[in-house]
Structure 1
């Protein structure tokens, strides 16, 4: 198994995607509307990005801000349309009002994905019980990654949780890869890498001018170098 860490970068459009790939990103998370923490992009945006780059694309399936699924029919239809357009990897995650995984929503959407790989995103950081959530999802087809900061407040607050979970990969529900993201900074990398974390996710860190500006290839390259070093 290669020891090269996976670097995933958020892309809002083809310009972002090209810069991220040039900087050494292994994968892109495609979203729109970061003011709402990332919603499903348009089919047109997906098509433009897919034509512009050659690295894997994970499509966010989320219709509204927050971690409730909302109208599951809308999400299923978006998943179906993205699949028909050629999308092969996805990102999703929904909680019920009590902070438990919304299995009805997840199961319906995952059935539509038909075995495609997918990430359960940072909804895990708002879960009432992370371990129970993982066990509930343990046999879900296609689930290969948890995107997490260890805490709803970000990596600074979640570091101890992340380090502990990285050591649990042999336990039921911990087989999916941990991808750390959410307030991640370069200085966090040594401890996480030493604990065995092999996947990292950046959004704002790839954009020196903030979310109004594009992904900067040089910023991504700095992360690539730090991970490879």
Structure 2
């Protein structure tokens, strides 16, 4: 188990980013429009956050609700613009109508990312077969993380799957880091840490006032302390 678990916090703007950093976050996921579960933020929003904090920033590449890639050319343009503004870590993941990974869409976007590190997001929790998806994505350039709750409904339902996948770390398709998020609660942390999970992702948990309120530095600090003592 690593000495310090990674804590990633969703940030919508500079205020969120500054509060998350003050609370002890290690990395931010940058999105807009949480009503659609997080879409690609405007480039100027990325630039403002980049100027305000020193944390690593993973930027969402997703243009519409759901897990269909949609307009791949527009995704590539968004990636190019963000790269031009200095973005060098990303979050993405596309499924076809059968719940299989959309490899042509991924390949098109990854060509633009040119080796940048990236997270395959919770599309894995909607995949037809998680193990097949992992093996088909194995070796894609830059893929170093899966953001997952273990199930579409969240960590409560997905915990057995997460524990099983943590035990397979290092097997073909299971080399990327597990980043746990989606209905994650503080009481889940001890079992996940005991299983060797060392990365956690929070959104609503960092906002006691709901999504209409900003990130709370004290709330993030509570999570930081929980991860450090689990």
TM bucket (normalised to shorter chain) is: over 0.9
Runs of 4+ in 1 over 3 A off after TM superposition: none
Instruction: Please give the per-residue CA displacement for 1:29-48, whole angstroms capped at 9, x wherever unaligned.
Output: 00000000000000110011
Contact 2:39 2:62 in 1 (8 A): yes
Give the aligned partner of residue 98 of structure 1. 98
2: CA distance between counterparts of 1:181 and 1:199? Answer: 9
Give the aligned partner of residue 6 of structure 1. 6
2: CA distance between counterparts of 1:139 and 1:189? Answer: 29
Give the aligned partner of residue 218 of structure 2. 218
2: CA distance between counterparts of 1:107 and 1:179? Answer: 22
2: CA distance between counterparts of 1:170 and 1:9? Answer: 26
1: CA distance between counterparts of 2:164 and 2:63? Answer: 32
**Count of aligned pairs between the two proteins:** 229
Q: 2:129 matched to 1:136?
A: no
> Which structure 2 residue ranges, 5 or more long, are not aligned?
none
1: CA distance between counterparts of 2:67 and 2:39? Answer: 11
Give the aligned partner of residue 15 of structure 1. 15
2: CA distance between counterparts of 1:3 and 1:177? Answer: 15
Alignment of 1:1-229 (within 5 A): 2-229=2-229
> Which structure 1 residue ranges, 5 or more long, are not aligned?
none
2: CA distance between counterparts of 1:218 and 1:50? Answer: 22
- TM-score, with length taken from structure 1: 0.99
